[in-house]
Structure 1
């Protein structure tokens, strides 16, 4: 703990120096720029760039992350989960080594340790003591400013677009990864990824996570930038095969195909992100016909005191309309980001109608206050509601009521520099008629504190 505190405070001293910015996926960072840096070396620069060859093109880099969180919930899962009067602590440690041998070969290894203290029944998503989270090699055949051709093989994180379907799952304690082969091609404003993978299943032991051959995931993802009017557009196809799917009106072998598009960008003080996805395939003997559309937009009043941003998000996500027929309409979000609808992270994006206004303020430099209000309904009264992992929370036959509830969330976020991050948040969820008919139906309160250090 003493070493952590020393490292914590020493990061304030690094603030005045210039280093490459951290990326959400740490393997996207490059510290080759430090090769020609004439500024006097310190312990941090030595860790980020260790030359191995005389030319300096072969080098080793280290980095990591430490995150501590405390959570307290009253009436967790609307009163159906066991009572926990003390709350619980989550901590996560990530440490990586990045080896580059010139421009054409690279190896990346990342260890992850996620621990839960005080939870009544911790899951592998929160508690996974020590694992090889990532371990892959890159072979780069073409690496120029506007041209790229790269092949990657091994255990790796996958993340695409707004992370509605494919994410690193940073919100929960344990990030997710895949055993995959991947090709990345880029030319000018065009980029395309092609991959095939098996999902890595987290276990509660040491070095026992395994590649699940019963959960296959493959696809292609294209991004086109600098388009007139639209700014940016994504086009993608994602395939998914799961041996033991379980929905309200279908179970068995799931073979699902998703085709989608996303339009996103910024225009002056506006930001926008619109996405549409259609899914087809089969679960056992039933045909899949599922879809979702979403719009996430906001406008920042940059000339007003506190620079408020007014945001609005709406999502329509299909559910199964007719029980017992030969079709299944429940949308599968595949591998979405954790905490999809805020801190409480109870409801997943299946069979849902969601209206989500928000308001944020810049209280001070690097200090932000966010308020948002979420209203949830079931899209179909014959389908249940699901968690982010598509595990059914309640079935659809308990009531005809569609109202799930309303959620009010507040966050205060302070990020003094790129190394340190603090967040204080609270969520109040008012249970609607559907929850009251399906379970205990109590109002839920969820609070949390997050402290994070990256290096």
Structure 2
């Protein structure tokens, strides 16, 4: 460690006397064990659950020189055992999660370019997706205007598969172009209001093999109110535009109310509606809401049955839930039961309309701050699916569908320097 410090100081020392500088280097090691027995979908007939350990390893460099801020995050994600112990190469290798430079033109105006996280409000539409070991970041340019009470961010991205010399199809499973604007006003200590406008363009080839880009717009407000023991939030997003030459008309709304009963105990309830399309609807209009880049693991149950790389272009969702949180000393506990219903009609090929009730999920989690840089967390979830869930997910609702996990996160600061 001493040698590393000396090398870094020598690199910086050439111009350290000219400008004020700061460097912070930290590390994250995050292995997670999971028992999956009906995770993301009902366990198929005749199948058994499985277990594995995944791991994220990250190295973060944060550098500041007066008005210039630079961040570089390298990471490796792996499943324990995905290569042999004497492997010559890693399966996933080292990836660049973040690599951006930000320049502060004034105290209020700044611009950031490069690989970066786009995360706003409660991350329902734009989020880091930190639960996933790989997480989520974008190659983008963003401009920010921030005052004490008001914030305005706007930015964009334009993607290609490589440095091409002729028009080439964009084959990556992502957007071709993206533009967004986000505004937040903190009226007072109690009330805050944000508005997001997101424009995403996806490339496709038409019947004549011509490459086209259709744009879909996602927009809406996010409202928070916190006063005394009351903590509430509300959001409503609409989606319009086109997707692969089809009209889009979808929406999402939710309300959450939380109340602090004691210093240790907090209770809340909430409801979310994500529009969907009936299974017998022959219209070409896209009516199913898509949270797009949201941190979807944090919504609609931790077993990820909905909107975590699944349930898109489906019957939508209604989610009614209760949240119970208890914190004592270094421990945190939570119990969250969900009741799920379809947002649109579920009709079989025999024209039989099924009940809208999809199932009930019970999530129980804990966290423990073991030491300054070490936290331990885990949980257990169980899904009680219905026959309607069976029809949508093609699994066995009578089987015990459950999921358990245990994660250790080690986050030490390995170097800090200021001149």
TM-score range relative to shorter protein: 0.7 to 0.9
Of 55, 59, 73 in structure 2, the residue corresponding to residue 95 of structure 1 is 59
**Partner residue of 1:181?**
141
Structure-2-length-normalised TM-score: 0.80
Where do 5+ consecutive residues of structure 2 fail to align? 83-90, 162-170, 206-211, 413-419
SS at match of 1:415: strand
Where do 5+ consecutive residues of structure 1 fail to align? 4-40, 120-126, 202-209, 246-251, 385-394
Q: Aligned-residue CA RMSD in angstroms? A: 3.3
**Partner residue of 1:237?**
197
1:222–1:235 Cα contact (<8 Å) kept: yes
**Partner residue of 1:440?**
395
2:347–2:353 Cα contact (<8 Å) kept: no
Following superposition, the deviation at residue 51 of structure 1 comes to 6.6
Matched ranges for 1:403-442 at <5 A: 403-416=357-370, 419-438=373-392, 439-442=394-397
SS at match of 1:319: coil
Q: Does 1:315 find its partner at 2:315?
A: no
Instruction: Give the number of equivalent residue pairs.
Output: 372
Q: Does 1:341 find its partner at 2:300?
A: yes
Matched ranges for 1:279-428 at <5 A: 279-302=239-262, 307-321=264-278, 323-339=281-297, 340-348=299-307, 351-362=316-327, 364-381=328-345, 400-416=354-370, 419-428=373-382
2:45–2:395 Cα contact (<8 Å) kept: no
Following superposition, the deviation at residue 399 of structure 1 comes to 5.8
**Partner residue of 2:93?**
129
2:176–2:213 Cα contact (<8 Å) kept: no
Following superposition, the deviation at residue 454 of structure 1 comes to 1.4
Q: 1:67 to 1:187 in 2, by over 3 A?
A: same
**Partner residue of 1:205?**
none
Following superposition, the deviation at residue 80 of structure 1 comes to 2.6
Following superposition, the deviation at residue 111 of structure 1 comes to 0.5
Following superposition, the deviation at residue 112 of structure 1 comes to 1.2
Following superposition, the deviation at residue 56 of structure 1 comes to 6.3
Structure-1-length-normalised TM-score: 0.74
Q: Deviations over 1:243-264 (max 9, x none)?
A: 369xxxxxx9652101110111
SS at match of 2:389: helix
> RCO higher in 1 or 2 (8 Å CA, sep ≥ 6)?
2
1:200–1:212 Cα contact (<8 Å) kept: no
1:90–1:116 Cα contact (<8 Å) kept: yes
Following superposition, the deviation at residue 431 of structure 1 comes to 0.9
Q: 1:75 to 1:278 in 2, by over 3 A?
A: closer
